[in-house]
Every structure is written in structure tokens, then in C-alpha cells.
């Protein structure tokens, strides 16, 4: 029997680990732009917090164009505070973080309140038009995150969700990391913020840490989760740098917990594929 590789190997492994849902995986060689794995790349998934990656890039493009100022302060009204990930909704009133702070909070701790303030700055229609202009046609912002029903727009009340696909996430991250979307200073800022994400459930799950507590391989990533939905997208600087998007839905474990069985299955199935494609030294990746 032929040895399974790439997307087939990932799918077989994730099934063997008991994952009951649907998964997509796209992997690209960062420097060559060559697609190495394409599994369900165009399939639409609920975006969850991966919608924050294009929001970050578009906001920094607006900074580059002079339409936004990273140092400008943005008030946080009481009715802008929403639950879920982040810290702004837990803090006292009267805050006015900078635009840079909002972008950092949006990515590093996945702050939903900060994200909605960024959406307000960009404008929903303008952001969706930008997605189309950039060719990211599988990604769409339906509306702000975690709004209570009386503040949701009609599409949200119909049950529509922000959506994305693995193809779009890899295309955007590849262009970002290659310096095709922003000037060098803002490219470095975007990748630095993505490298400081505090939740790393899949892409960095099996990478060892150095003695000072940092990852042994640089990873610039953004995860996302909803009930039954587990995503992770990013750039992994293995000896052969890779851009990766793994998206999934239909998972069985609703827990927000480090031992979430869906995340364990996805990460465990993913890393042998990336280990082979990234030309890592055998044993560099920690098994689970």
C-alpha cells in the first residue's frame, strides 16, 4: 500500500485520532509560493477569531496610507464592551487605548471589544470591499463580534456568521510575510504582534521551548474557536518556512481547555505533515 502524504496523511491521522468533524488544511512554501498541501482550501468555515488577521492587515494598510494613526486614542464606550476573549470588558471605564493597543489586544489576547472598535474604525462595508479587491473572496465580515441580540444586524439575527477559508488565510499571510502588503516597518509590526499571540493550540502545540521559555521556532499565528470550531493559521519558520491554515468545524469537545480533544487531534495529525514538509531534523517536533 502506498504511503499517504500531505492532505491525505493529515486526514487519515485526524480521523484515527477520533476527530468527528470536517477539516481543511492548506500549506504553502513561504519563499517559493508553492502550494504543498491543499485539502478543502476553498470550503467556507465560520471565521471565529481568524477574521482578526485580515482586520490587522487592512488596519495597517490604512495606517500606511495616513488614514489611521497608531498613536491616536480611541475611547471605549460602555456599550462597546462585549464578552468572550480579551480583557477590555473586565476593566474600569474611561479607557482610551491607542490604535496600536487595540490591534495588539485584538491579536495577542484575541480581545473582542478591541476587535469591534477596530471594525468601527475601518467600516464594515469598506473592509468587505477591501477583501474583494484583494481577491479574498471566501472571507466576509457579517458584523461585529459577540454583540447582544438587540444590537446585532439583520444578517446576524438570521444566524449568518463571519466566514473565511484556508485558501484566503494562506494567501493573505504569505503576502504579508513576503512584504507585499505593507512597508518593512509595518510588516515587521504585524508579524511581531502575531508572534506574541498567547493562545497557541495547534500550530505551535508540539514545538519545544528554549531554556528561557520562548519557542524554539518562530511562529506568527492566530487561532480561533467557537463551539465545535477550532482554527489556527500562521507562518512557521521551520528550516523551510511554511504558511499554514488548518480550519475545522463539527468537533465534539466544547471545552476551552488546553486538553481540548479536537485541538489535540488536529495538532497531532498536523505536525508530522509539517515536519516532513519543513525539512526539520527528526525529533525536533514533540510527539503527543
* Grid cell 482610551 in the structure block, residue: 96
Asked if residue 285 belongs to a domain, the reply is no
Q: How far is CA 279 from the centre of its chain?
A: 24
286 in a structural domain: no
Buried b (16+ CB within 10 A) or exposed e, 63-79: beeeebeeeeebebeee
Residues 79, 142: Cα–Cα separation, whole Å: 19
Q: Is residue 172 part of a domain?
A: yes
**Cβ contact 128:155 at 8 Å:** no
Sole residue written with cell 495577542 = 108
pLDDT digit string (tens) for 159-177? Answer: 889 999 999 999 999 999 9
Provide the domain count of the chain.
1
> Is 287 domain-assigned?
no
- Residue 288 domain-assigned? no
Per the structure, the complete domain to which residue 251 belongs is given by 6-277
Kindly give the parts of the chain with pLDDT less than 70. 1-5, 86, 280-288
CB within 8 A of 145, min separation 6: which ones?
A: 82, 84, 112, 115, 116, 162
Do the domain assignments include residue 82? Answer: yes
Distance between CA 23 and CA 7 in Å, rounded? 10
pTM: 0.91
CA gap 216, 235 in Å, rounded: 14
CA 210 to chain centroid: 24
- Taking residue 96's Cβ as centre, other Cβ atoms within 10 Å add up to 10
> Which letter, b or e, does each residue of 15-47 get, where b requires 16 or more Cβ atoms within 10 Å of its Cβ?
eebebebebbbbbbbbeeeebbbbbbbeebbbb
- Look at the alpha carbons of 15, 282, 207, 163 in this order and tell me if their dihedral is positive or negative: negative
In a domain, residue 236? The reply is: yes
At 93 the pLDDT is 78
| Residue 25: per-residue pLDDT | 96
The CATH code of the domain that includes 223 is 3.40.710.10
pLDDT of residue 218: 92
Q: What's the confidence (pLDDT) of residue 181?
A: 98
219 in a domain, yes or no? yes
The pLDDT score that the predictor gives to residue 4 is 52
Amino acid at each position: 500500500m502506498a504511503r499517504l502524504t500531505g492532505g491525505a496523511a493529515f486526514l487519515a491521522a485526524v480521523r484515527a485520532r477520533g476527530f468527528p468533524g470536517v477539516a481543511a488544511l492548506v500549506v504553502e512554501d513561504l519563499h517559493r509560493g508553492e502550494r504543498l498541501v491543499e485539502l478543502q482550501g476553498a470550503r467556507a468555515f465560520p471565521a471565529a477569531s481568524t477574521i482578526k488577521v485580515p482586520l490587522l492587515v487592512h488596519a495597517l494598510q490604512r495606517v500606511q496610507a495616513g488614514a489611521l494613526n497608531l498613536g491616536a486614542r480611541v475611547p471605549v464606550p460602555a456599550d462597546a464592551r462585549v464578552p468572550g476573549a480579551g480583557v477590555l470588558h473586565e476593566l474600569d471605564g474611561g479607557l482610551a487605548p491607542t490604535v496600536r493597543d487595540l490591534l495588539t489586544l485584538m491579536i495577542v489576547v484575541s480581545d473582542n471589544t478591541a476587535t469591534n472598535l477596530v471594525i468601527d474604525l475601518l467600516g464594515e462595508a469598506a473592509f468587505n470591499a477591501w477583501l474583494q479587491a484583494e481577491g479574498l473572496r471566501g472571507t466576509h465580515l457579517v458584523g461585529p463580534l459577540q454583540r447582544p441580540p438587540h444590537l446585532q444586524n439583520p444578517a446576524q439575527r438570521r444566524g449568518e456568521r463571519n466566514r473565511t477559508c484556508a485558501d484566503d488565510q494562506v494567501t493573505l499571510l504569505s503576502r504579508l510575510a513576503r512584504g507585499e502588503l505593507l512597508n518593512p516597518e509595518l510588516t515587521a509590526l504585524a508579524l511581531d504582534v502575531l508572534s506574541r499571540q498567547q493562545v497557541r493550540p495547534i500550530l505551535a502545540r508540539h514545538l519545544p521551548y528554549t531554556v528561557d521559555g520562548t519557542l524554539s521556532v518562530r511562529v506568527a499565528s492566530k487561532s480561533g474557536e467557537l463551539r465545535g470550531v477550532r482554527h489556527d493559521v500562521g507562518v512557521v519558520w521551520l528550516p523551510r518556512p511554511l504558511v499554514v491554515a488548518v480550519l475545522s468545524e463539527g468537533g465534539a469537545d466544547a471545552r476551552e481547555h488546553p486538553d481540548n480533544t479536537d485541538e489535540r487531534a488536529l495538532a497531532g495529525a498536523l505536525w508530522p505533515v509539517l515536519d516532513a514538509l519543513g525539512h526539520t531534523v527528526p525529533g525536533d517536533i514533540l510527539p503527543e
